[in-house]
Amino acid sequence: MSEKKGVILSGMRPTGKLHLGNLFGALENWVKLQDEYRCFFCIADWHALTTAYEESLNIKANVREMVLDWLSCGIDTEKSVVFKQSDVKEHAELHLLLSMITPLSWLERVPTYKEQLQQPEGRNLATYGFFGYPLLQAADILLYKADAVPVGEDQAPHIEFTREVARRFNYLYNQKVFPEPATILNEYKLVPGLDNRKMSKSYNNVIEISVPPEEIPSQVRKMITDPGRIRKNDPGNPQICSIYAFHRIFNQQELSKIEAACREGQIGCVECKNNLSGYMQSYLAPIFEKRRELEKDPQAIDDLLAKGSEKAREVAAVTMQEVRSAIGLL
Ligand code: TRP
Ligand code: SF4
């Protein structure tokens, strides 16, 4: 336990139940990192509020659903600190203090900001809070002096931005308060959605992590295969088939066999799908069972979170003393 390599922090916005894209794009990596690093996993509910401020009443339920998914997939509160951002007010204080030294131009050039503003969703995102999103994220990371942050590629500019803010703070106040966190890119696994686009809540094409095992075959049947295959013995191209992309994740051991059989038209798509469903069921059923157990005791989840937030606050308080002192507020 004490031999851990360094501190890791990562987070997710609570948007409700997670899907297989979240599992293989992030969560699976987090679970692995727990043994090597001292991990902090942040439920970024204030970040959710930067865009969903009109639907704020959903956030609480979304937090609970997300924690259930985290725990049932193997995030272990004995090994890692799992906490809710809004329980640790130091995030807000650090965000404020960092805002004093952050040039507007740095925030303006963050790509996610520019992209989001252009999305025609009808939400007004020209807000002060949304503009500061990456700085709030920087505060999340720096508060725990994280050495590294495991994220998907889309978040890499935010970690780069965090490094710049850390450097500027250390330089201005002439003390090495913050380490510059490294980016750990999550191992990339392609997870297509039911319609063969990237799996994403906004495309409405997801399979939830908590899908009941008996519903897996009907979901898999909806997935798109090589559209060029009409008859069972037409030669197929697995590279354009989302079923094959899933075999890659759930059924490594038979991959080359399936590829050959598909290319030679020796296996029908129905059979190939049934085969996949079986593997998905054996992978996801234990997660489902564990979640069902955890769901029975909502109080226990609240207690776990309260304890996690307590631990997070202890660490945050120490950093904030250093920060206030470096600035000269003490
Ligand atoms: N912005 C991240 C996302 O949308 C979520 C997040 C909030 C985060 N705080 C973080 C990720 C700190 C890494 C570190 O996915
Ligand atoms: Fe896809 Fe399998 Fe059909 Fe080939 S046989 S197109 S891999 S579902």
pLDDT at 327: 98
Q: Which residues pair with 217 in a beta bridge?
A: none
Q: What is the pLDDT of residues 214-253, one digit of tens each?
A: 999 999 999 999 988 988 889 999 999 999 999 999 999 9
Contacts of residue 235, Cβ cutoff 8 Å, sequence gap at least 6:
229, 262, 263, 264, 265
Q: Looking at the structure, tell me whether residues 119 and 20 fall in a common domain.
A: yes
| Count of structural domains, the chain | 2
Q: Looking at the structure, tell me whether residues 151 and 244 fall in a common domain.
A: no
Token reading at 80? 């890692």
E strand or H helix at 14 = none
β-pair type (38-43, 148-151): unpaired
Q: Looking at the structure, tell me whether residues 256 and 310 fall in a common domain.
A: no
Q: Looking at the structure, tell me whether residues 102 and 243 fall in a common domain.
A: no
Q: What is the mean pLDDT of residues 158-186?
A: 97
Q: Looking at the structure, tell me whether residues 130 and 18 fall in a common domain.
A: yes
Name the residue at shortest CA distance from atom 3 of ligand 2.
269
Q: Is any atom of ligand 1 closer than 6 Å to the C-beta of 151?
A: yes
Whether the per-residue pLDDT at 103 is higher than 90: the answer is yes
89: containing domain: 7-191+298-327
pLDDT at 122: 66
pLDDT at 121: 64
Contact 222, 194 (CB under 8 A): yes
CATH number at residue 116: 3.40.50.620
In a domain, 31, yes or no: yes
Burial grade of 240 (CB within 10 A; 0-12, 13-18, 19 or more) = middle
Q: What is the mean pLDDT of residues 269-284?
A: 97
DSSP 124-191: ---SHHHHTHHHHHHHHHHHTT-SEEEE-GGGHHHHHHHHHHHHHHHHHTTS--S--PEEEEPPP---
pLDDT at 1: 47
Nearest to 111 by CA among 140, 148, 154, 141: 154
> pLDDT confidence of 120, banded at 50, 70, 90?
low
Average pLDDT, the chain: 94
pLDDT at 153: 87
In a domain, 232, yes or no: yes
3-state secondary structure of 56: helix
Contacts of residue 54, Cβ cutoff 8 Å, sequence gap at least 6:
123
Atom of ligand 1 at shortest distance to CA of 12? 5
How far is the centre of ligand 1, averaged over its atoms, from the C-alpha of 112 (Å)?
12
Whether the per-residue pLDDT at 112 is higher than 80: the answer is no
Atom of ligand 1 at shortest distance to CA of 136? 9
pLDDT at 2: 55
In a domain, 198, yes or no: no
pLDDT at 233: 87
Q: Looking at the structure, tell me whether residues 161 and 119 fall in a common domain.
A: yes
